[in-house]
Amino acid sequence: MNMISTCELILALDVPSRDEGLTFLDKVEGHLDWVKIGLQLFTKEGPGFIEEVAQRHINIFLDLKLYDIPNTVGSTVRSLGHLPIQMLTLHASGGSEMLAFAREARDEVRPELQLLGVTVLTSFNEEGMVATGIADSLEVQVLRLARLAVRAGIDGLVCSPLELTLLRGEIGVAPLLVTPGIRPAGVDANEQKRTQTPESAAKMGASHIVVGRPILKAENPVKTITDIKTSLQPQATDS
C-alpha cells in the first residue's frame, strides 16, 4: 500500500549548560517544534530547565535511557510525570516487566507521554555483544528487542537510519521510529559513520529525525532548520 507519512525534526540540544541552551533557543525562536535533552544537560540543570524550554512552546524528548528493576523504573516515570515532556527513552533490554511498569506509571501520571525503546546502542558491534553474552547478530537482537518493546505497549523505538526499513517491516506503520545519524547532503558527518539525509530517512519510515551539530553549528541555524523541514514535507512510502 502506498501511504503518506509525516516526519518531524527534533533538535538534539547537546550543549553543556542552561544558558547556552536558552541562548540558542532564543536564536531560533518560532522555528523549532522539538528538542531532545539528554543526560548531560538534565543532570546538570535539572527539571527547572525542562520547564524553561517548555515555556517556549517546544515539545521535549527527554533522552534518559532508563534501565533498572521494574519498580524503580516505574517510580522514576511517576517522578517525571509532572514535567512537560512528550517523549522519554528506556532500554528495551530492561525486559517486558520493566517496560510494562513504565507504561502503567505513564498511564497514571502523564498519558500523553510517549515511551520509546532503545534496542542495541549503535556503539556496540558484534564483538561487544558476544562479550556481554549475546551470540546473535546485531540485526537479530535489534528485531528481538523491538518486538519485545512493542508487545509491552511501548509507543516506538529509537533506531539508526540503517534499521528503518527492517523495523518498519517488522512492527508496522503505527509505532514511532525516531532516528539520529542524520546529515543533510553535503554537511560534515562528524564522527557519525553511516548517515542518511532527512529526505531518505523520511522515505524509509522515520516518524522523527534527530539532528544536532548540523543545526547547532550552522552559520544560519534558522535557515538550516527551515531547509530540513522543507525536505521533510509528506513523503509517499511503501508499506
Q: Per rule CB under 6 A, is residue 210 in the interface with ligand C5P? A: yes
Work out which of 79, 125, 137, 190 binds ligand C5P, going by CB under 6 A. 190
- Nearer Cβ to ligand C5P (54/187): 187
Catalytic residue among 27, 36, 44, 65: 65
Stretch that binds ligand C5P, among 39-47, 54-62, 168-176, 208-216 (CB under 6 A): 208-216
Q: Grid coordinates representing 176?
A: 514511532
Q: What is the distance between the alpha carbons of residues 18 and 53, in angstroms, rounded to a whole number? A: 10
Query: In what helix (H) or strand (E) does residue 26 lie, and over which residues does it extend?
Result: helix 18-27
Q: Which residue is nearest to ligand C5P (CB)?
A: 212
- Can residue 231 be called a binding residue for ligand C5P (CB under 6 A)? no
Nearer to ligand C5P, 2 or 123 (CB): 123
* Contact pattern for ligand C5P over residues 8 through 47, marking x by CB under 6 A: ----x-x-----------------------x---------
Q: Which of 173, 182, 171 is nearest to 238 (CA)?
A: 173
Contact 156, 116 (CB under 8 A): yes
Measured CA to CA, the distance from residue 36 to residue 45 in angstroms comes to 14
Supply the minimum distance, in Å, between the C-beta of residue 111 and ligand C5P.
26
Binds ligand C5P (CB under 6 A): choice among 65, 78, 147, 213? 213
Return the residue of 59, 93, 114, 122 that touches ligand C5P, per CB under 6 A. Answer: 122
181 binds ligand C5P (CB under 6 A): yes
Least gap, CB of 190 to ligand C5P (angstroms):
6
Instruction: List C-alpha distances in Å: 239 to 1, 2, 146, 209.
Output: 6, 6, 18, 19
The size of the interface with ligand C5P (CB under 6 A), counted in residues, is 13
Could you give phi then psi for residue 170, rounded to 5 degrees? -85, -40
How many other CB atoms sit within 10 Å of the CB of residue 180? 21
Instruction: Specify the DSSP element, H or E, that contains 238.
Output: strand 235-238
65 in active site: yes
Q: Is 24 exposed, middle or buried (0-12, 13-18, 19+ CB in 10 A)?
A: middle
Nearer to ligand C5P, 70 or 163 (CB): 163
DSSP per-residue string spanning 142-183? HHHHHHHHHHTT--EEE--GGGHHHHHHHH-SSSEEEE--B-
In what helix (H) or strand (E) does residue 146 lie, and over which residues does it extend?
A: helix 138-151
| Interface characters, 59-88, with ligand C5P (x: CB under 6 A) | ------------------------------
Task: Compute and round to an integer the Cα radius of gyration of the chain.
Answer: 17
The residues that are catalytic are: 65
Binding residues for ligand C5P (CB under 6 A): 12, 14, 38, 122, 160, 180-181, 190, 192, 210-213
